[in-house]
Amino acid sequence: MEDIKRIKRELIAKGHILDYYHDTVQISNGNTAVWDFIAHKGAAAVVPVLEDGRILMVKQYRNALDRYTIEIPAGGVDTVDEPHYDAAMRELREETGYTTDKLEFLIVVNTTVAFCNEKISIYVAHISGKGGEQELDEDEFINVIPYEVSELERMIYAGEIMDSKTVAAIMAYKNKYLK
């Protein structure tokens, strides 16, 4: 990256889950440009697989899209130093009410590389037994619904599931575990 150099980073707005910056960069032809940058602490997600092979999905309202979505359970890390594994365990319990003894690493995705550094580590949880109570935040309303992998794949190709972490996770899970 010798031909591109950040000259300045200016905080424009500080939010609850992200910070918005203007980066002034010198590009390879010698000109300068101002690029938007969104800083995110990171997140973790989990593919919760029941004993019968179905995957627990969460249905929740997403303000940015003004609609309900179907996703894998996920959430931000509490601090930049929190291990993603710990955050995935917490989100599994909080959003679904289920727990597991161990998570298996699946993949890492950067969700929007053009302007944001959000990194989501995705794990697989093999669930046995019944779930407990969800531990939702005051502003969370989540329904937990089990789906067959084939149903989820159909929903992805039909454009019913478009969330990048969920699409990547379901397809990676299918490729790794259901060959």
**Options 2, 51, 133, 138, the catalytic residue:** 138
Task: Give the closest residue to 135 by CA, choosing from 101, 98, 103.
Answer: 98
The answer to whether the beta carbons of residues 21 and 7 sit under 8 Å apart is no
20, 92, 50, 164 alpha-carbon torsion, rounded to 10°: 0
Does the annotation mark 138 as catalytic?
yes
The answer to whether the beta carbons of residues 161 and 151 sit under 8 Å apart is no
Backbone angles phi, psi at 79, to 5 degrees: -140, 160
Strand (E) or helix (H) holding 107: strand 103-110
Terminal-residue alpha carbon distance, the chain: 39
- Residue identified by tokens 């939702």 is 136
Indicate which residues carry an active-site annotation. 138
